[in-house]
């Protein structure tokens, strides 16, 4: 059995653990940070992300907007410092509807987002006094508008988003949103952390030791031996396994996992423009089948669900550069909680269901239904609290901390999450939103009452 020491041990080298190491080592000057993972960095859930970001977070309060604005500030600062190695853009998120009730829902969302601090709302109805609409610049984030443009004028929708269904009634363009190269972002943070003294150890965290003071050591299984790392500070950043690791400390975290899949679709005919933003269809829908197909699906309980109404939030974005034909497509329609198992099980129907559903918002994609390109389908887990807010805080054992339950927004939140975690560890001054992400919130009766009417905002 080997022995070593570290000031801080972080379990998990996904984006959360790497961001925590970066802020501890680079921003807070903690000289001896040990980052432990049995897999290569950024190779589990962080590798399966859509790599998007947004400051567009409905209520019930402004904590998530403040948190994401801070994270985006930090990402932009880092992008400027490294020559934008991770290709940050600000194309925005576009939410579209073809239902009258959807129009009013988008109007309410725009007003709420502006009130919560996401930026001003600009209404476009085709009137002379309307403010100008500025289309997004595809490959930059400087000097771009924030806030939201709500477009209700059909001619404007057709002019700027001609690929959308002709019956689209409203488009909400949230502006401080876009995407980046998640792998490059993680590597920039990791390189800077390692330059400041962070060590990376390939191994499995098999236990956490506690004495009368608090955390005293971490048990790590490496190739051929067990290592005891003496430390007074342990950070649980284990992604979908964050609850399992917390149990080493006899702590139960209120989290669960959902499987989320995505399709990497080869749009070789160029139906979706390469400069398109992230587009989310906010309407539920039924898939279009032939009468013969409908009869076939209705014959079995296992396929009857294909005739059901599917939920909203099917979405896409271009992937890769100008010469790439790839488009990422996602539709979270099966979200039953499940334990994380590896490899992630793939639903064999997912590809066809997503492409068929995508033809509702982009009818031009129907050209692929007769002979669909060979799919690339993968996915990961969203680790969530019931209200879909993260846990970034001390645990009930002195010297133990958690940075997790980052759901599907780990990359966009990582910069601010790592900063908040580091401030907890170093006893720094916490931002106003810190209490919203503390485990202690579940001890507040008023908060628990508020949760009864809480809506999941992961796809909004």
pLDDT of residue 47: 79
Say what the pLDDT of residue 344 is. 93
**How does pLDDT run across 285-342, given as a tens digit for each residue?**
999 999 999 999 999 999 999 999 999 999 999 999 999 999 999 999 988 999 999 9
- Six-digit token string for 128: 């002379």
* Predicted pLDDT of residue 223: 84
User: Containing H/E element for 70?
Assistant: helix 63-81
**Torsion angle, CA of 10/14/19/25, rounded to 10 degrees?**
40
pLDDT at residue 144 in the model:
95
**pLDDT for res 316:** 98
Contact 266, 373 (CB under 8 A): yes
CA distances from 341 to 39, 67, 257 (A): 15, 30, 10
In angstroms, what CA-CA distances link 399 with 8, 231, 277, 342, 395? 9, 9, 43, 30, 8
| Alpha-carbon span 226 to 222, nearest angstrom | 6
What pLDDT score does 46 carry? 80
Q: Which residues contact 433 (CB under 8 A, 6 or more apart)?
A: 63, 64, 66, 67, 70
Residue 229 DSSP SS3: strand
pLDDT (0 to 100) of residue 453:
80
Q: State which CATH number among 3.40.50.261, 3.50.50.60, 3.20.20.70, 1.20.120.80 fits the domain covering 2-51+182-255+385-451.
A: 3.50.50.60
> How big, in percent rounded to 5, are the helix, strand and coil portions of the chain?
35, 25, 45
Where are the chain's structural domains?
2-51+182-255+385-451, 93-176+257-383
**pLDDT on residue 421:** 98
* Tokens encoding 298: 């209705």
Domains 2-51+182-255+385-451 and 93-176+257-383 share a fold: no
| Positions of the chain with pLDDT lower than 70, given as ranges | 1, 456-460
Domain 93-176+257-383 has what CATH class?
A: alpha beta
What is the DSSP annotation of 185-213?
A: HHHHHHHHHHHTT-EEEE-EEEEEEE-SS
* CB distance 12 to 401 below 8 Å: no
What pTM was computed for the model?
0.96
């Amino acid at each position: 059995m080997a022995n070593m020491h570290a000031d801080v041990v972080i379990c998990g080298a996904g984006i959360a653990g790497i961001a925590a190491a970066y802020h501890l080592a680079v921003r807070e000057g903690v000289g001896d940070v040990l980052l432990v993972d049995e897999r290569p960095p950024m190779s589990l859930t962080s590798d399966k992300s859509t790599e998007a970001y947004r400051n567009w977070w409905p209520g019930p309060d402004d904590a998530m907007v403040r948190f994401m604005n801070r994270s985006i500030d930090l990402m932009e600062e880092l992008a400027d410092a490294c020559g934008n190695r991770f290709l940050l853009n600000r194309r925005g998120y576009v939410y579209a509807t073809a239902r009258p009730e959807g129009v009013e829902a988008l109007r309410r969302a725009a007003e709420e987002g502006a009130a919560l601090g996401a930026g001003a709302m600009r209404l476009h109805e085709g009137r002379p006094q309307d403010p100008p609409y500025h289309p997004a610049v595809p490959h930059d984030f400087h000097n771009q508008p924030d806030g939201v443009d709500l477009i209700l004028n059909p001619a404007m929708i057709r002019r700027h988003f001609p690929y959308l269904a002709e019956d689209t009634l409203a488009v909400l363009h949230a502006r401080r949103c876009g995407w980046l190269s998640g792998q490059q972002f993680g590597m920039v943070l990791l390189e800077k952390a390692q330059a400041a003294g962070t060590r990376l150890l390939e191994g499995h965290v098999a236990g956490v030791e506690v004495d009368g003071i608090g955390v005293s050591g971490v048990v790590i299984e490496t190739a051929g031996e067990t290592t005891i790392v003496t430390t007074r500070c342990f950070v649980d950043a284990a992604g979908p396994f964050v609850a399992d690791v917390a149990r080493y400390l006899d702590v139960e975290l209120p989290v669960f996992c959902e499987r989320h899949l995505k399709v990497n679709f080869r749009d070789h005919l160029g139906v979706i423009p390469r400069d398109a933003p992230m587009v989310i269809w906010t309407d539920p829908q039924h898939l279009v089948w032939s009468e013969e197909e409908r009869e076939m699906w209705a014959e079995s309980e296992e396929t009857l669900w294909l005739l059901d109404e599917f939920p909203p939030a099917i979405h896409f974005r271009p992937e890769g550069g100008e010469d790439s034909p790839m488009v990422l497509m996602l539709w979270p329609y099966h979200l039953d909680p499940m334990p994380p198992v590896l490899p992630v099980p793939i639903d064999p129907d997912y590809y066809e269901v997503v492409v068929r559903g995508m033809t509702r918002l982009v009818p031009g994609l129907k050209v692929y239904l007769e002979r669909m390109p060979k799919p690339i389908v993968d996915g990961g887990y969203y680790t969530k609290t019931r209200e879909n807010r993260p846990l970034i805080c001390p645990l009930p054992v002195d010297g133990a901390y958690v940075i997790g339950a980052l759901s599907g927004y780990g990359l966009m939140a990582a910069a601010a999450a790592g900063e908040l975690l580091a401030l907890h560890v170093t006893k720094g001054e916490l931002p106003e939103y810190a209490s919203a992400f503390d485990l202690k919130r579940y001890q507040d009766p008023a908060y628990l009452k508020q949760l009864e009417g809480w809506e999941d905002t992961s796809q909004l």
